[in-house]
Structure 1
Amino acid sequence: MQDVPQSAANTTAPGVHRTPTRAKRSAAPQAFPPLQAVADPAAPEAPAPSSGSILDQHPRASPIHITHETSITGAHADALWDAYRANFEPLASLAVLQHFYSRDEVLAELSNPRILKIVGWQDGQPVGLAMVTNSLEDVPQISPEFLRSSYPDHAATNTIYFGILVMVVPELRGRTLFSRLYIELWQVPATAGGVLVFDICDFNRLSFEADTLTQRIADNFPQSSVRVIDRQTWYVAELPRPIPSHPSLSVPASRSSIKR
């Protein structure tokens, strides 16, 4: 940068304020105070390591284990009835076919030794249930003859199974217990080399993509296949008015008014 002449440096235009020029540096060395050593600020102390494990620091829910039961009665049956009601009572207004049964009917199934109960337990209480049986006469609203004629080889070995239900308590929905229960249910007929029959109402089939879900479950089992064996379609005809009668047509007389 070129030096600015002193005369020009001191000349200012009206209304313009200039920063004064720096004074000429003295040739004599300038004394500075001696530097003082400054201690580094003390680093924060690290927290003492915890003596417990990471599970102790982040407690989790109690584990859930699964058992196979032939008969459930008493307080455990009452708890499962409450869970059943919470799961299936809403279907009474969502599906034509009956899905919600009375307390006596459900308790009878729970105590029936011919129906296998696959139960999820947490802290000693039942929190999930799947039911399956090869005693087809114990399943309401199905035709055992139809299934046996469709699968005669399996009928001969009594390996036609019907999946009655799978449910979990509302607090555990969306977790892994439901999938654990249905895999365990499918494993029962698979172990016997049998077939599993089950039904899903149209509301659940569309809402939860049941077609995709059942195929995904079947993919876990070697050489398995899934197909629709039957389908019930419910029709409704709205008839706000009858067929109009032609004026020239007379109403037939009742038999009691006909003279002989």
Structure 2
Amino acid sequence: SILEQHRSAPPTIITHETSVTGETAEALWKAYHQNFEPLEELAVLQHLYTRDEMLEEFANPRILKIVGWQGGEPVGLAMVTNSLEEVPQISPRYLRRSYPEHGARNAIYFGILVMVSPGVRGLTLFSRLSTELWQVVARDSGVLVWDVCDFNRLTFDAETITKRIAENFPHSTFAVLDRQTWYAAELPEPIPVAPHR
């Protein structure tokens, strides 16, 4: 029958994990590498961290791992933390100054990443993981901060995706908080120097 020929994928469930180790961490490392390795040639800022660095983050209980599972295998991951010192590329002082009320309640969250294994891309898992990450923050009446490289911002229309997710949350707002601009100057020749007299 047609149903036997086109079996549906197993349902995807989402869990919250404080620590991920062992085979699950290794599977997530492989998926992370597949997702972020291409950005090494597409973005100036380092996106691909070492296996040891990622395994350390997966095991860190101060970073919440939101895992998408299909058939008992991890196929997606979102990571978020309100322990801002766990994120070396941000300034906790800047965020606490910008959001003092949230900072006083430890309700400033940094969205570290959202990724989906290549075999399940194009379905709904990225949106589900993103929305669940936002929901973690909303349950704390918090503020969520994250960054997107220009390649991903333009290719995947990050502003539209952000707006669509935000529309699900009553009274939510979003704005660009800061921007990093990278410059490059090609200098084929030095400034001419007059000969000494």
- The TM-score, its normalising length taken from structure 2, stands at 0.96
Question: Tell me, which stretches of 5 or more residues in structure 1 are unaligned?
Answer: 1-49, 251-260
Match of 2:93 among 126, 145, 150: 145
* 1:203 Cα offset (Å): 0.6
Query: Residue 44 of structure 2 corresponds to which residue in structure 1?
Result: 96
Query: Residue 87 of structure 1 corresponds to which residue in structure 2?
Result: 35
* 1:82 Cα offset (Å): 0.2
Does residue 118 (structure 1) correspond to residue 73 (structure 2)? The answer is no
Does residue 199 (structure 1) correspond to residue 155 (structure 2)? The answer is no
Query: Residue 109 of structure 2 corresponds to which residue in structure 1?
Result: 161
Query: Residue 75 of structure 1 corresponds to which residue in structure 2?
Result: 23
Query: Residue 180 of structure 2 corresponds to which residue in structure 1?
Result: 232
Q: Deviations over 1:58-83 (max 9, x none)?
A: 53111110100000000000000000
| Distance of 1:138 and 1:200 partners within structure 2 | 18
Q: Deviations over 1:129-175 (max 9, x none)?
A: 00000000001211100000110000000000000000011000100
The letter of the residue matching 1:189 is: V
* 1:56 Cα offset (Å): 6.6
The letter of the residue matching 1:158 is: N
The letter of the residue matching 1:152 is: P
| Distance of 1:56 and 1:173 partners within structure 2 | 23
| Distance of 1:132 and 1:180 partners within structure 2 | 15
| Distance of 1:130 and 1:158 partners within structure 2 | 20
Larger Rg: 1 or 2? 1
Query: Residue 55 of structure 2 corresponds to which residue in structure 1?
Result: 107
The letter of the residue matching 2:42 is: L
* 1:233 Cα offset (Å): 0.4
Fraction of identical pairs, as percent: 70
SS at match of 1:141: coil
The letter of the residue matching 1:65 is: I
What's the RMSD between the two structures over aligned residues? 1.5
SS at match of 2:188: coil
SS at match of 1:171: helix
The letter of the residue matching 2:18 is: T
The letter of the residue matching 1:98 is: Q
| Distance of 1:56 and 1:245 partners within structure 2 | 79
Total equivalences in the alignment: 197
| Distance of 1:155 and 1:184 partners within structure 2 | 22
Query: Residue 136 of structure 1 corresponds to which residue in structure 2?
Result: 84
Question: Tell me, which stretches of 5 or more residues in structure 2 are unaligned?
Answer: none
Q: Deviations over 1:169-202 (max 9, x none)?
A: 1000100111100000000111110000000000
Q: Identify the structure with the greater helix proportion.
A: 2
Does residue 179 (structure 1) correspond to residue 127 (structure 2)? The answer is yes
Query: Residue 244 of structure 1 corresponds to which residue in structure 2?
Result: 192
How has the CA–CA distance of structure 1 residues 161 and 60 changed in structure 2, closer, same or farther, with 3 Å as cutoff? same
Q: Deviations over 1:230-258 (max 9, x none)?
A: 111000111101111124x45xxxxxxxx
| Distance of 2:6 and 2:121 partners within structure 1 | 22
| Distance of 1:158 and 1:172 partners within structure 2 | 34
The 4+ residue runs of structure 1 with deviation greater than 4 A are 54-58
SS at match of 1:121: strand
| Distance of 1:193 and 1:238 partners within structure 2 | 47
| Distance of 2:33 and 2:120 partners within structure 1 | 15
SS at match of 1:236: coil
- The TM-score, its normalising length taken from structure 1, stands at 0.73
